[in-house]
Amino acid sequence: MAKNNIIVGLDIGTTKVRAIIAERDPQGTFSITGVGQSPSTGLRKGVVVNIEATLRSIAAAMESAEDMSRQIARDCWIGIGGNHVEGVISRGVVAVKGNNRDRNEISEDDLEHVRYIACSFKLPMDRTTIEVIPQTYIVDGQTGIRDPLHMIGMRLESEVLIITCSQTSEQNLVKCVNRAGFTVNGAILQTLAAGRAVLTEEEKEMGVALLDLGGGTSNILAYSQGAAFFTSSVPAGGNQVTNDISIVKNIAFDSAEKIKIEAGCCWEPFLDGMGDAVIVPGMGGRSPLLIPRSQILQIIKPRMVEIFQLVKAKIEEACPLRTLGGGMVLTGGGANLAGVTELAAEVFNTPVRIGNPLPVVGLVEEYRNSSYATAVGLVLEGNDREIGLDPASGSDAFLGRSGGPEWNPLSVFGKIGRWIKREFF
Protein backbone atom coordinates (compact mmCIF):
# COMPACT_ATOMS: atom_id res chain seq x y z
CA MET A 1 0.00 0.00 0.00
CA ALA A 2 1.43 3.35 -0.97
CA LYS A 3 2.30 5.89 1.70
CA ASN A 4 0.34 9.11 1.81
CA ASN A 5 2.97 11.42 3.29
CA ILE A 6 0.85 14.45 4.04
CA ILE A 7 1.49 16.60 7.12
CA VAL A 8 -1.14 19.13 8.21
CA GLY A 9 -0.76 21.95 10.73
CA LEU A 10 -3.94 23.53 12.11
CA ASP A 11 -3.60 26.77 14.06
CA ILE A 12 -6.94 27.45 15.77
CA GLY A 13 -6.78 31.02 17.06
CA THR A 14 -9.19 33.47 18.62
CA THR A 15 -9.59 35.53 15.45
CA LYS A 16 -8.38 33.23 12.64
CA VAL A 17 -8.06 29.52 11.86
CA ARG A 18 -5.11 28.76 9.60
CA ALA A 19 -4.32 25.43 7.97
CA ILE A 20 -1.19 24.38 6.09
CA ILE A 21 -0.75 21.18 4.11
CA ALA A 22 2.72 19.86 3.26
CA GLU A 23 3.83 16.79 1.32
CA ARG A 24 6.89 14.77 2.36
CA ASP A 25 8.98 13.01 -0.28
CA PRO A 26 10.79 9.68 0.20
CA GLN A 27 14.00 11.54 1.12
CA GLY A 28 12.28 13.11 4.14
CA THR A 29 12.12 16.68 2.82
CA PHE A 30 8.77 18.29 2.23
CA SER A 31 7.13 21.26 0.57
CA ILE A 32 4.09 23.29 1.51
CA THR A 33 1.40 22.83 -1.12
CA GLY A 34 -1.74 24.24 0.49
CA VAL A 35 -2.63 27.17 2.74
CA GLY A 36 -6.09 28.02 4.06
CA GLN A 37 -7.55 30.65 6.36
CA SER A 38 -10.96 31.32 7.88
CA PRO A 39 -12.37 33.80 10.44
CA SER A 40 -12.65 32.29 13.91
CA THR A 41 -15.69 33.16 16.03
CA GLY A 42 -15.96 30.22 18.42
CA LEU A 43 -12.97 30.88 20.69
CA ARG A 44 -12.33 33.39 23.44
CA LYS A 45 -8.79 33.85 24.76
CA GLY A 46 -7.75 30.52 23.27
CA VAL A 47 -10.64 28.52 24.76
CA VAL A 48 -13.58 27.07 22.80
CA VAL A 49 -16.85 28.79 23.73
CA ASN A 50 -18.90 27.68 20.71
CA ILE A 51 -18.34 24.20 19.30
CA GLU A 52 -20.45 24.66 16.15
CA ALA A 53 -18.83 27.96 15.16
CA THR A 54 -15.35 26.55 15.76
CA LEU A 55 -15.85 23.40 13.70
CA ARG A 56 -17.27 25.46 10.83
CA SER A 57 -14.17 27.68 10.90
CA ILE A 58 -11.91 24.61 10.96
CA ALA A 59 -13.76 23.00 8.06
CA ALA A 60 -13.59 26.20 5.98
CA ALA A 61 -9.84 26.68 6.54
CA MET A 62 -9.05 23.04 5.82
CA GLU A 63 -11.18 22.99 2.69
CA SER A 64 -9.38 26.06 1.39
CA ALA A 65 -5.99 24.42 2.01
CA GLU A 66 -7.18 21.19 0.37
CA ASP A 67 -8.35 23.03 -2.72
CA MET A 68 -4.97 24.72 -3.09
CA SER A 69 -2.94 21.55 -2.51
CA ARG A 70 -5.29 19.26 -4.46
CA GLN A 71 -5.09 16.77 -1.59
CA ILE A 72 -7.56 15.72 1.08
CA ALA A 73 -6.31 15.90 4.64
CA ARG A 74 -7.39 13.25 7.09
CA ASP A 75 -5.39 14.09 10.20
CA CYS A 76 -3.55 17.09 11.58
CA TRP A 77 -1.36 18.51 14.31
CA ILE A 78 -3.10 21.20 16.35
CA GLY A 79 -1.74 24.04 18.47
CA ILE A 80 -2.62 24.67 22.11
CA GLY A 81 -2.28 28.09 23.75
CA GLY A 82 -3.99 30.58 26.01
CA ASN A 83 -4.24 31.47 29.69
CA HIS A 84 -4.90 27.86 30.71
CA VAL A 85 -1.38 26.78 29.66
CA GLU A 86 1.18 26.60 32.47
CA GLY A 87 4.80 25.51 32.72
CA VAL A 88 6.77 24.17 35.68
CA ILE A 89 10.39 23.07 36.09
CA SER A 90 10.77 19.61 37.60
CA ARG A 91 13.86 17.62 38.59
CA GLY A 92 14.54 13.88 38.72
CA VAL A 93 17.45 12.10 40.42
CA VAL A 94 18.58 8.48 39.94
CA ALA A 95 21.60 6.33 40.70
CA VAL A 96 23.45 5.30 37.54
CA LYS A 97 22.97 1.61 36.81
CA GLY A 98 25.19 1.61 33.75
CA ASN A 99 25.41 -1.19 31.24
CA ASN A 100 26.87 -4.68 31.05
CA ARG A 101 30.38 -3.41 30.25
CA ASP A 102 30.66 -0.53 32.74
CA ARG A 103 28.30 -0.11 35.66
CA ASN A 104 29.21 3.60 35.93
CA GLU A 105 28.64 4.48 32.27
CA ILE A 106 25.35 6.33 31.70
CA SER A 107 23.12 4.37 29.35
CA GLU A 108 19.91 5.08 27.45
CA ASP A 109 18.01 3.27 30.20
CA ASP A 110 19.44 5.67 32.78
CA LEU A 111 18.34 8.67 30.70
CA GLU A 112 14.84 7.28 30.28
CA HIS A 113 14.66 6.50 33.99
CA VAL A 114 15.70 10.00 35.13
CA ARG A 115 13.28 11.66 32.71
CA TYR A 116 10.50 9.40 33.96
CA ILE A 117 11.27 10.35 37.58
CA ALA A 118 11.32 14.07 36.66
CA CYS A 119 7.83 13.77 35.19
CA SER A 120 6.34 11.53 37.87
CA PHE A 121 4.52 14.08 39.98
CA LYS A 122 0.77 14.03 40.35
CA LEU A 123 -1.18 16.52 38.24
CA PRO A 124 -4.58 17.87 39.32
CA MET A 125 -7.43 15.94 37.72
CA ASP A 126 -8.32 18.86 35.44
CA ARG A 127 -4.80 19.21 33.99
CA THR A 128 -3.00 17.27 31.26
CA THR A 129 0.61 17.35 30.04
CA ILE A 130 1.20 18.55 26.48
CA GLU A 131 4.99 19.04 26.39
CA VAL A 132 8.03 17.75 28.29
CA ILE A 133 11.12 19.76 27.28
CA PRO A 134 14.54 18.62 28.61
CA GLN A 135 16.56 21.48 30.11
CA THR A 136 19.87 20.15 31.34
CA TYR A 137 21.53 17.17 33.01
CA ILE A 138 23.70 17.08 36.11
CA VAL A 139 26.25 14.28 36.64
CA ASP A 140 27.75 14.00 40.14
CA GLY A 141 27.17 17.71 40.72
CA GLN A 142 28.56 18.82 37.35
CA THR A 143 25.95 21.13 35.82
CA GLY A 144 25.27 22.31 32.26
CA ILE A 145 25.54 18.91 30.55
CA ARG A 146 23.49 18.59 27.37
CA ASP A 147 23.98 14.91 26.57
CA PRO A 148 25.38 12.70 29.34
CA LEU A 149 25.12 9.46 27.34
CA HIS A 150 28.24 7.26 27.83
CA MET A 151 29.66 9.61 30.47
CA ILE A 152 30.95 8.10 33.72
CA GLY A 153 29.08 8.95 36.90
CA MET A 154 27.32 7.71 39.99
CA ARG A 155 24.41 10.16 40.28
CA LEU A 156 22.34 11.48 37.37
CA GLU A 157 19.93 14.40 37.62
CA SER A 158 17.67 15.92 34.98
CA GLU A 159 15.70 19.17 34.79
CA VAL A 160 12.69 19.33 32.48
CA LEU A 161 10.09 21.95 31.64
CA ILE A 162 6.68 20.34 31.93
CA ILE A 163 3.91 22.24 30.15
CA THR A 164 0.32 21.47 31.08
CA CYS A 165 -3.06 22.73 29.97
CA SER A 166 -6.70 22.48 30.96
CA GLN A 167 -7.89 18.99 30.10
CA THR A 168 -11.39 20.14 29.16
CA SER A 169 -10.03 22.94 26.94
CA GLU A 170 -7.89 20.44 25.03
CA GLN A 171 -10.74 17.93 24.77
CA ASN A 172 -13.16 20.56 23.42
CA LEU A 173 -10.61 21.62 20.81
CA VAL A 174 -10.03 18.02 19.74
CA LYS A 175 -13.80 17.46 19.61
CA CYS A 176 -14.20 20.40 17.22
CA VAL A 177 -11.51 19.00 14.93
CA ASN A 178 -13.04 15.51 15.03
CA ARG A 179 -16.53 16.80 14.28
CA ALA A 180 -15.11 18.75 11.36
CA GLY A 181 -14.03 15.39 9.94
CA PHE A 182 -10.36 15.13 10.90
CA THR A 183 -8.22 13.12 13.30
CA VAL A 184 -5.81 14.83 15.70
CA ASN A 185 -2.30 13.35 15.63
CA GLY A 186 -1.27 15.37 18.66
CA ALA A 187 -1.37 18.77 20.37
CA ILE A 188 1.69 21.03 20.30
CA LEU A 189 2.26 24.19 22.30
CA GLN A 190 1.60 27.07 19.90
CA THR A 191 4.62 29.13 20.93
CA LEU A 192 6.87 26.06 20.67
CA ALA A 193 5.63 25.54 17.11
CA ALA A 194 6.12 29.23 16.27
CA GLY A 195 9.64 29.08 17.70
CA ARG A 196 10.38 26.08 15.49
CA ALA A 197 9.41 28.16 12.46
CA VAL A 198 11.03 31.53 13.20
CA LEU A 199 13.93 31.16 15.66
CA THR A 200 17.51 30.27 14.78
CA GLU A 201 19.65 27.91 16.83
CA GLU A 202 22.00 30.79 17.59
CA GLU A 203 19.16 32.83 19.11
CA LYS A 204 18.05 29.90 21.26
CA GLU A 205 21.61 29.42 22.46
CA MET A 206 22.08 33.10 23.34
CA GLY A 207 18.68 33.35 25.00
CA VAL A 208 15.58 34.77 23.37
CA ALA A 209 11.97 35.49 24.24
CA LEU A 210 9.27 34.68 21.69
CA LEU A 211 6.06 36.73 21.99
CA ASP A 212 3.05 35.55 19.99
CA LEU A 213 0.65 38.52 19.72
CA GLY A 214 -2.68 36.79 19.15
CA GLY A 215 -6.21 38.10 19.06
CA GLY A 216 -7.28 37.10 22.58
CA THR A 217 -4.00 36.44 24.37
CA SER A 218 -0.31 37.22 24.09
CA ASN A 219 1.75 34.07 24.68
CA ILE A 220 5.39 33.94 25.77
CA LEU A 221 8.10 31.29 25.44
CA ALA A 222 11.67 32.01 26.56
CA TYR A 223 14.79 30.06 25.55
CA SER A 224 18.22 29.85 27.13
CA GLN A 225 21.21 27.67 26.25
CA GLY A 226 19.26 26.08 23.43
CA ALA A 227 16.19 24.96 25.43
CA ALA A 228 12.84 26.50 26.33
CA PHE A 229 12.70 27.21 30.07
CA PHE A 230 9.68 29.46 30.65
CA THR A 231 6.18 29.88 29.26
CA SER A 232 3.34 32.19 30.22
CA SER A 233 0.61 34.39 28.73
CA VAL A 234 -1.28 37.60 29.36
CA PRO A 235 -5.05 37.87 28.75
CA ALA A 236 -4.82 40.68 26.22
CA GLY A 237 -4.17 40.84 22.49
CA GLY A 238 -5.25 42.37 19.20
CA ASN A 239 -8.96 42.19 20.00
CA GLN A 240 -8.48 44.58 22.92
CA VAL A 241 -6.87 47.10 20.56
CA THR A 242 -9.79 46.76 18.13
CA ASN A 243 -12.29 47.07 20.97
CA ASP A 244 -10.64 50.28 22.16
CA ILE A 245 -10.97 51.83 18.69
CA SER A 246 -14.60 50.67 18.47
CA ILE A 247 -15.56 52.19 21.85
CA VAL A 248 -13.63 55.45 21.62
CA LYS A 249 -14.79 56.23 18.07
CA ASN A 250 -18.25 54.67 18.45
CA ILE A 251 -17.93 52.52 15.36
CA ALA A 252 -18.66 48.85 14.64
CA PHE A 253 -16.08 46.28 15.72
CA ASP A 254 -15.56 45.12 12.11
CA SER A 255 -14.88 48.70 10.99
CA ALA A 256 -12.46 49.17 13.88
CA GLU A 257 -10.65 45.98 12.92
CA LYS A 258 -10.32 47.20 9.33
CA ILE A 259 -8.92 50.52 10.54
CA LYS A 260 -6.39 48.75 12.77
CA ILE A 261 -5.18 46.51 9.95
CA GLU A 262 -5.08 49.11 7.17
CA ALA A 263 -4.23 52.33 9.02
CA GLY A 264 -3.14 51.29 12.50
CA CYS A 265 0.18 52.49 13.87
CA CYS A 266 1.77 52.60 17.34
CA TRP A 267 4.93 54.62 16.65
CA GLU A 268 4.68 58.36 15.95
CA PRO A 269 7.47 58.69 13.33
CA PHE A 270 5.63 56.15 11.16
CA LEU A 271 2.70 58.55 10.70
CA ASP A 272 4.69 60.48 8.11
CA GLY A 273 3.81 59.18 4.69
CA MET A 274 0.69 57.31 5.87
CA GLY A 275 -1.72 60.11 5.00
CA ASP A 276 -3.61 62.43 7.31
CA ALA A 277 -6.90 60.62 7.90
CA VAL A 278 -8.97 57.51 7.25
CA ILE A 279 -12.61 57.46 6.16
CA VAL A 280 -14.97 55.16 8.09
CA PRO A 281 -18.49 54.33 6.82
CA GLY A 282 -21.20 55.74 9.08
CA MET A 283 -23.55 53.47 11.01
CA GLY A 284 -27.32 53.50 10.59
CA GLY A 285 -27.31 55.78 7.57
CA ARG A 286 -25.12 58.39 9.21
CA SER A 287 -22.48 60.25 7.23
CA PRO A 288 -19.00 58.71 6.90
CA LEU A 289 -16.48 59.65 9.57
CA LEU A 290 -13.09 61.20 8.89
CA ILE A 291 -10.66 60.07 11.61
CA PRO A 292 -7.11 61.47 11.75
CA ARG A 293 -4.48 58.76 11.93
CA SER A 294 -2.89 60.55 14.88
CA GLN A 295 -6.05 59.86 16.89
CA ILE A 296 -5.91 56.18 15.96
CA LEU A 297 -2.32 56.05 17.18
CA GLN A 298 -3.34 57.68 20.47
CA ILE A 299 -5.82 54.83 20.99
CA ILE A 300 -3.58 51.95 19.89
CA LYS A 301 -0.28 52.91 21.51
CA PRO A 302 -1.37 52.93 25.19
CA ARG A 303 -2.94 49.47 24.85
CA MET A 304 0.16 48.04 23.15
CA VAL A 305 2.38 49.59 25.83
CA GLU A 306 0.18 47.98 28.49
CA ILE A 307 0.43 44.55 26.82
CA PHE A 308 4.22 44.84 26.52
CA GLN A 309 4.56 45.93 30.15
CA LEU A 310 2.50 42.94 31.32
CA VAL A 311 4.68 40.64 29.20
CA LYS A 312 7.85 42.27 30.53
CA ALA A 313 6.74 41.67 34.11
CA LYS A 314 6.02 38.00 33.32
CA ILE A 315 9.44 37.43 31.74
CA GLU A 316 11.33 39.17 34.53
CA GLU A 317 9.69 36.83 37.03
CA ALA A 318 11.79 34.10 35.42
CA CYS A 319 14.97 35.96 34.42
CA PRO A 320 16.30 39.47 33.75
CA LEU A 321 15.62 40.53 30.17
CA ARG A 322 19.24 41.63 29.78
CA THR A 323 20.36 38.00 30.04
CA LEU A 324 18.48 37.16 26.83
CA GLY A 325 21.18 38.04 24.33
CA GLY A 326 18.95 37.19 21.38
CA GLY A 327 16.40 39.83 22.39
CA MET A 328 12.71 39.52 21.54
CA VAL A 329 11.00 37.99 18.52
CA LEU A 330 7.38 38.94 17.76
CA THR A 331 4.97 36.66 15.89
CA GLY A 332 1.22 36.46 15.37
CA GLY A 333 -1.16 38.85 13.68
CA GLY A 334 -0.32 41.66 16.12
CA ALA A 335 3.27 41.68 14.88
CA ASN A 336 2.04 43.16 11.57
CA LEU A 337 1.03 46.43 13.25
CA ALA A 338 3.12 49.34 11.96
CA GLY A 339 5.74 50.45 14.49
CA VAL A 340 5.31 47.46 16.77
CA THR A 341 9.02 46.50 16.81
CA GLU A 342 10.10 50.07 17.59
CA LEU A 343 7.61 50.34 20.46
CA ALA A 344 8.54 46.92 21.81
CA ALA A 345 12.26 47.77 21.69
CA GLU A 346 11.55 50.89 23.73
CA VAL A 347 9.49 49.06 26.38
CA PHE A 348 11.70 45.97 26.67
CA ASN A 349 14.97 47.86 26.18
CA THR A 350 16.30 45.02 24.04
CA PRO A 351 16.63 44.26 20.30
CA VAL A 352 13.33 43.22 18.70
CA ARG A 353 12.55 41.67 15.33
CA ILE A 354 9.51 40.28 13.53
CA GLY A 355 9.42 36.47 13.40
CA ASN A 356 8.55 35.54 9.84
CA PRO A 357 8.75 31.80 9.03
CA LEU A 358 12.18 30.71 7.86
CA PRO A 359 12.29 29.67 4.18
CA VAL A 360 10.33 26.48 3.47
CA VAL A 361 10.02 24.91 0.02
CA GLY A 362 6.65 25.72 -1.52
CA LEU A 363 5.64 28.51 0.87
CA VAL A 364 4.85 31.50 -1.32
CA GLU A 365 5.91 34.97 -0.23
CA GLU A 366 2.33 36.01 0.50
CA TYR A 367 2.17 33.58 3.44
CA ARG A 368 5.71 34.07 4.70
CA ASN A 369 4.66 36.47 7.45
CA SER A 370 4.31 36.31 11.21
CA SER A 371 0.59 35.47 11.08
CA TYR A 372 1.43 32.01 9.71
CA ALA A 373 4.37 31.32 12.04
CA THR A 374 2.43 28.90 14.27
CA ALA A 375 0.80 27.03 11.38
CA VAL A 376 4.15 26.59 9.60
CA GLY A 377 5.74 25.53 12.88
CA LEU A 378 3.06 22.92 13.47
CA VAL A 379 3.91 21.33 10.12
CA LEU A 380 7.66 21.42 10.86
CA GLU A 381 7.29 20.12 14.42
CA GLY A 382 4.70 17.53 13.39
CA ASN A 383 7.07 16.28 10.69
CA ASP A 384 9.93 16.04 13.21
CA ARG A 385 7.79 14.09 15.66
CA GLU A 386 6.50 11.68 13.05
CA ILE A 387 10.02 10.93 11.87
CA GLY A 388 11.34 10.79 15.44
CA LEU A 389 8.63 8.40 16.61
CA ASP A 390 9.06 6.27 13.51
CA PRO A 391 12.75 6.05 12.53
CA ALA A 392 11.80 4.42 9.24
CA SER A 393 10.31 7.79 8.23
CA GLY A 394 6.70 6.98 8.94
CA SER A 395 4.81 3.77 8.40
CA ASP A 396 1.14 3.71 7.54
CA ALA A 397 0.44 2.05 10.88
CA PHE A 398 1.93 4.94 12.81
CA LEU A 399 0.75 7.78 10.63
CA GLY A 400 -2.82 6.55 10.72
CA ARG A 401 -3.18 7.00 6.99
CA SER A 402 -4.18 4.69 4.20
CA GLY A 403 -4.82 4.95 0.52
CA GLY A 404 -3.17 3.76 -2.64
CA PRO A 405 -2.95 4.79 -6.25
CA GLU A 406 -6.53 3.81 -6.84
CA TRP A 407 -7.81 6.30 -4.26
CA ASN A 408 -8.51 9.72 -5.74
CA PRO A 409 -7.79 12.46 -3.16
CA LEU A 410 -10.14 14.84 -4.97
CA SER A 411 -13.02 12.35 -4.98
CA VAL A 412 -16.36 14.02 -4.34
CA PHE A 413 -17.33 11.05 -2.17
CA GLY A 414 -14.53 11.92 0.25
CA LYS A 415 -15.94 15.40 0.77
CA ILE A 416 -19.50 14.09 1.02
CA GLY A 417 -18.36 11.65 3.73
CA ARG A 418 -16.64 14.51 5.54
CA TRP A 419 -19.83 16.58 5.42
CA ILE A 420 -21.97 13.68 6.76
CA LYS A 421 -19.56 13.15 9.66
CA ARG A 422 -19.49 16.84 10.49
CA GLU A 423 -23.24 17.32 10.37
CA PHE A 424 -24.58 14.15 11.96
CA PHE A 425 -21.89 12.69 14.24
Of the candidates 227, 194, 206, the one whose C-alpha atom is nearest the C-alpha of residue 79 is 194
| CATH number 3.40.50.300 given to 6-83+168-191+359-424 | no
Residue 143 DSSP code? E
Judging by beta carbons within 10 Å of its beta carbon (0-12, 13-18, 19+), is residue 412 exposed, middle or buried? exposed
> Would the CATH topology of 6-83+168-191+359-424 be identical to that of 201-357?
yes
| Contact by Cβ (8 Å): 77, 20 | no
Q: What are the extents of the domains in the chain?
A: 6-83+168-191+359-424, 86-165, 201-357
| Contact by Cβ (8 Å): 254, 245 | no
Sign, Cα dihedral of 355, 65, 170, 379: negative
Cα–Cα distance for residue pair 53/14, rounded to 1 Å: 12
Fold held by 86-165 = Dna Ligase; domain 1 (3.30.1490)
Residues making up the chain, counted from first to last: 425
| CATH number 3.40.50.12280 given to 201-357 | no
Q: Mind listing the pLDDT tens digit of every residue in the chain (425 residues)?
A: 234 589 999 999 999 999 999 998 877 677 899 999 999 989 988 899 999 999 999 999 999 999 999 999 999 999 999 999 999 999 999 999 887 677 789 999 999 999 889 988 888 899 999 999 988 899 999 988 988 998 999 999 999 999 999 999 999 999 999 999 999 999 999 999 999 999 999 999 999 999 999 999 999 999 998 999 999 999 999 999 999 999 998 888 999 999 999 889 999 998 876 667 888 877 767 788 888 899 999 999 999 999 999 999 999 998 888 889 999 999 999 999 999 999 999 999 999 999 999 888 777 777 889 999 999 999 999 988 887 743 333 333 222 332 333 333 334 444 445 544 555 55
Of the candidates 158, 144, 131, the one whose C-alpha atom is nearest the C-alpha of residue 225 is 144
**DSSP string spanning 308-350?**
HHHHHHHHHHHS-GGG-TT-EEEESGGGGSBTHHHHHHHHHTS
The residue type at 319: C
